[in-house]
Structure 1
């Protein structure tokens, strides 16, 4: 293999190893997706979204071929103490210099009408859509075994 080919291969491998970046402003890390089982019709994705830019941004949508619909959701507690999942049409604010967690029991990307089961260690391609940064393509690994590290509740999927 020539030096040029080796350098190009190294550069490509290095680029794939880093979290997704949108023009150096949005960093997506610690992402994973899950569903409740092979027959599940819905699934969810969780991740850390860091705005490394100087301007506030907002996650306003997401798309993926793995589901008929992809929406931004959160959990709200009603007057009876029951958690309900709701669509957040306005999206999630990502202030400049801050990190927003999409996590079980809180904000998350919801996949409805899955086109196939989520298999352990598979990869879910997702396009996150931001007001300022535009589209950010991420490859989210499926982790059906991951436990909630933060003690922030669980997701029913």
Structure 2
């Protein structure tokens, strides 16, 4: 049996449509894999925890703040009741608020933060946030560190906080 040279010379993809289809498919694969890499989210039961982050700290700093979003896809409210991390002696949930004299004050939240059914709560600068107190070492931009969130119903989940620039707002690593 002889195979002609012409059979080997024929292009693998003969039409423009075939080449375009392969290019679109390759682009979709690249997008899907990049999105997965950029996604910085975690799940605990019906809860989605999006983009945990913190700011870099100067040398000698004893506190750092942590931020994230919590979306409740369930039909019942849940509550973030505590936070732990190995980067500090203790971690607490705090809230910024304005007192009767118009002065901004920070206070520890007792009883946790409710995440309403079908709702979302953002722990962000100037609002609810996590305070890491008694830092064991400075946090540098580009680093990550683990934290454990405990919810009343969904239980515990370990998340990874991305350390962003000291002076900037969070870069959204969630892809949303």
Q: TM-score, normalised by structure 2?
A: 0.71
Structure 1 residues 101, 17: CA separation in 2 closer, same or farther (over 3 Å shift)?
Answer: closer
Aligned counterparts, 1:1-157, within 5 A? 17=39, 19-23=41-45, 25-144=46-165, 145-147=167-169
Q: Is the 8 A contact 1:31 1:140 kept in 2?
A: yes
In the comparison of the two structures, how many residue pairs are matched?
A: 136
Q: Is the 8 A contact 2:48 2:72 kept in 1?
A: yes
Deviation at 1:116, TM superposition (A): 0.5
Which one is further off, 36-45 or 140-149?
140-149
Q: Which has a greater percent of helix?
A: 2
Identify unmatched segments of 5+ residues in structure 2: 1-35, 172-176
Q: TM-score, normalised by structure 1?
A: 0.79
Larger Rg: 2
CA RMSD of aligned residues (A): 2.2
| Cα distance in 2 between the residues matched to 1:127 and 1:141 | 14
Look up the match of 2:4: none
Structure 1 residues 16, 64: CA separation in 2 closer, same or farther (over 3 Å shift)?
Answer: farther
Q: Is the 8 A contact 1:73 1:85 kept in 2?
A: yes
Deviation at 1:120, TM superposition (A): 0.4
Q: Is the 8 A contact 2:41 2:50 kept in 1?
A: yes
3-state SS of paired residue (2:164)? coil
Identify unmatched segments of 5+ residues in structure 1: 1-13, 150-157
